[in-house]
Structure 1
């Protein structure tokens, strides 16, 4: 029926809803087994968006074994398709790989086996983060979901709050009820064990990323920092601050030299490095102690008055982040002062 045209089958929406309910109630693996879906093709690709919308409370093992098993089979077919000049089929296969990976955030929606399966999953995620840039947004989103949901489970004081949440479906409510404080603590403990590894990889990626990529890297780094040991986060913060100091010294030294093209290029590179380092350091804020936040603030103050508009824009962004977590008298007075020195190009974040 799914392969019939809309003209021949007018109840596709209802059919998809039925399949979605089955996925939520029985689990995605059971539904795929019943439908005899063991690979992805033109005939059954319709199942992917339904899975993405309705997977909840499944297992990470389902993604590791079943979904990644299909991914590997599809990836294996691509070189042969290219060799045979089947460019359209190869492109479609690449699309399947991305669509299959897009199921990861759904599989991270209250999974039932985080504490026992995350150790294996993190190896896959770290390897993919380093080698497949187009999948980084999906992975960062998935990490955020895992951490946020477990932190939320720790903060719930009354189980009845879950029961009265009208926005939750039955399957979501059932999955959420399984997340006791004890299980959430175990889950976060397992994720925390690999926080240093994730931060190291994400830091490396961050420093060579575009503005668009920073948009999904920064929230993931902040979530990881929020559950990490203070010493771990402090190590990455101090390293970023040292590099920021070195880049600042380099810029100041170049400004004393003549205005040759080579020096101008080096100055632009160092300014970009400074801006990225400042923003990365700010990403760690949820895991920083008060002393480190004061250090960060001390770097924001001169950056706000920087003649380079890019640095000033980043500094305002960091200042807005500081104000959200540390609204103190010193910051308020500084905000009043900087309203007088803001460059036009940097005003977007100054008005937040």
Structure 2
């Protein structure tokens, strides 16, 4: 199988002449496999390689897909999934003139057949053949010649056949993106070739690529024939449910990017007029807080309905931005401003998203409307919706980078206002909002450090200086937010502390204050600093950090002592205990030594636990091996080393379990070692009698009572005599039993 696969891909189109017999043999094997597809994976792989090498037209000449008009039996329909995954570099004309008529024949048979099961199968086969459209749009060889005819067919699909909507949307994306990627220098031309890349067999054959000249011809053809097709897609988008709009929106964006901007603008204006967002003059309608019954009486949309319709319209506007000209950009921007200033509650996330796309795609617009954009955003009350905050901050990202690069005094004031909102959000109670602020700050830093930008290093240092300016503010909340911002910057770029030496002393100086919120943030900064800096660079700020954090080692509230301990442990691990001890002030050396000792005990205890674990494992394995040996001999050792034979001995009756007392043993040697076992004649149990060790002092009342002492001595003698009597009795019974056995023998 692997050899034939390699041969197809190596020989290429000539394999149709030399290897057609192998294709027929593989098809015969697939037909014999029937409905069982579990063992046909390698067959499908080889046939897929044949499709890549020969092309779908040659394959279908050798293995035709057909239907019998008399009994409605189908042949070779198993080839459809293989074609779907492997067709590349085919012809749009072949799809329209051969595949579409074949699918229609299956559809007609579906209407004629009487049995529902057969009819369902025929309809599935017809839809499978129509669904080959995206595959035939993988680098077709005749796009500039046949796209006009294909566009007419696609419009029919969009207006009639709902099952083809997703296939049409994906096919258009493939056509546009593959041609656009061929015009981009260094772009991976196979990036959008998702279907062809599913099979590893394509690694043997290079994925076809358009030349720059061919790609330009194809894009011109796509743009010239897209007016009616784009209108059909837009109409379908606004009339569809939300889940279908997702893939329709991407297709509209792709097609609009290669369509003339004036055509796209006319389509969008007609849509705004349809939903009464603009009047006949193209002016945006102002929202008036009147009774909605007036609109209902006149047959117009109510204010609430207009508000709801703005969301899909704004979503559509966001995908039209990429290929938009100046007029269309102005129209979209006016739509955004009207939505933000008109107190339209719904769709605010989409409004911010559309504005961020305009700022990203069209730098000229950002420069020409810069102050207006700043005033617009800062004049709005910040949203509480996380998605809206994310897109709002995306607008801030673009504007902030632009301001810092321009370096104008008036713009610096606006930049501080934007930075202020980001820093305040860093202290937000919601984790999602704080993460958005962190990400935005990191993106701004990354953009400013980009070497391709003008004055990249200077703009980046200016941003850090602006953040440090908040450290001298009066509000502890703003101070702690600024420290958190610097912590984010240091975590992503620790070298900033070396390039801007004032960063570390400025933050550590805040540790002399008393605001708890600021102290927490400053200790957090110190932890990030010592964690991110290499040991060599940490030596330069070691004395400042150690002397700055140690005064808070005496405060246990708010976990300050724990934070200081962690910071010292990190420094010790990187720079050594001697360096830390030398940098510590005299009054805190005792605490530093305690940290060293605890750190040493932790490491020692870990080693001890590891050693004990290994030892216990070894001991348990030895015990198991010994028990196995004794079991083989019919006995096993107990804990004291004695051996209990398996044969049951006649022993003393120990009584029922419910009569056992706390100091009564069951005879399994589990009692204390300082107890002797004697027989209780009443219960016939073994009673533990505690004995005193030699030299053990007795209580004062017993030492003064001579009679009591004598009674204890007599009791010991009686117990000793009872034990001897009991032992002799056992011996006598044993000898008598052995004598009886001998006499019997």
Q: TM-score range by the shorter chain?
A: 0.7 to 0.9
Q: CA deviation at 1:342?
A: 2.0
TM-superposed CA distance for 1:238, in Å, is: 3.4
- Contact conserved, 1:153 with 1:181, CA < 8 A, in 2? yes
1:70 paired with 2:102, answer yes
Of the three residues 38, 61, 66, the one matched with 1:38 is 66
Deviates more, 1:57-66 or 1:288-297: 288-297
1:217 corresponds in structure 2 to 248
8 A contact 2:55–2:90 mirrored in 1:
yes
- What runs of 5+ residues in structure 1 fail to find an aligned partner? none
Is 2:213 aligned against 1:185?
A: no
Residues 257-279 of structure 1 deviation map (CA, whole Å, 9 limit, x = unaligned): 16799699833432233333333
1:290 Cα deviation from its structure 2 partner:
3.3
Question: What pairs up with 1:6-25 in 2 under 5 angstroms?
Answer: 11-25=39-53
Given that residues 240 and 280 in structure 1 are in contact (C-alpha distance below 8 angstroms), is that contact kept between their aligned partners in structure 2? no
* 1:283 match: 319
In structure 1, the partner of 2:350 is: 314
CA-to-partner distance for each residue in 1:80-118, whole Å, 9 max, x for gaps? 23xx2x223333333223222221111000011112221
**Conservation of the 8 A alpha-carbon contact between 1:233 and 1:287:** no
Larger radius of gyration: 2
Q: 1:70-109 residue pairs with structure 2 within 5 A?
A: 70-81=102-113, 84=114, 86-109=115-138
Q: Secondary structure of 1:136's partner? A: helix
Q: Give deviations 1:210-236, integer Å, cap 9, x for gaps.
A: 112211121111111111223222322
Deviation at 1:145, TM superposition (A): 0.9
Q: Does 1:148 align with 2:180?
A: no
CA spacing shift, 1:5–1:326, aligned 2, 3 Å: same
Deviation at 1:122, TM superposition (A): 1.3
How many angstroms does 1:3 deviate by? 4.9
Partner of 2:55: 27
Is 1:199 the counterpart of 2:230 in the alignment?
yes
- 1:243-262 aligned within 5 A: 243-246=276-279, 252-253=287-288, 255-257=289-291
Work out the CA distance in 2 between the residues paired with 1:238 and 1:8. 55
Instruction: Tell me how far apart the structure 2 counterparts of residues 87 and 261 of structure 1 sit (CA, whole Å).
Output: 50
Superposition RMSD in Å: 3.5
Work out the CA distance in 2 between the residues paired with 1:265 and 1:240: 14
Cα distance in 2, alignment partners of residues 122 and 53 from structure 1:
23
Equivalent residues in 2 for 1:159-174, closer than 5 Å: 169=202, 173-174=206-207
CA 1:9–1:104 in structure 2 vs 1: closer, same or farther (change >3 Å)? closer
Q: TM-score, normalised by structure 1?
A: 0.82
Q: Does 1:111 align with 2:140?
A: yes
Work out the CA distance in 1 between the residues paired with 2:296 and 2:260: 43
C-alpha distance in 2 between matches for 1:172 and 1:105: 20
Could you tell me how far apart the structure 2 residues matched to 1:22 and 1:335 are? 58
Tell me, in whole angstroms, the C-alpha distance in 1 between the residues paired with 2:389 and 2:359. Answer: 11
Following the alignment from structure 2 to structure 1, what is the Cα–Cα distance between the partners of residues 117 and 76? Answer: 18
State the number of aligned residues.
339
Structure with more of its chain in helix, by fraction:
1
Between the two structures, name the one with larger relative contact order (CA 8 Å, sep ≥ 6): 1
> Over residues 242-267 of structure 1, what are the superposed CA-to-partner deviations in whole Å (9 max), with x where a residue is unaligned?
442249977834x4116799699833
* Distance in 1 of aligned mates of 2:252 and 2:97: 27
SS of 1:310's equivalent? coil
Q: Secondary structure at the match of 1:351?
A: helix
Structure 2 residue 233 is matched with structure 1 residue 175: no
Contact 1:244 1:278 in 2 (8 A): no
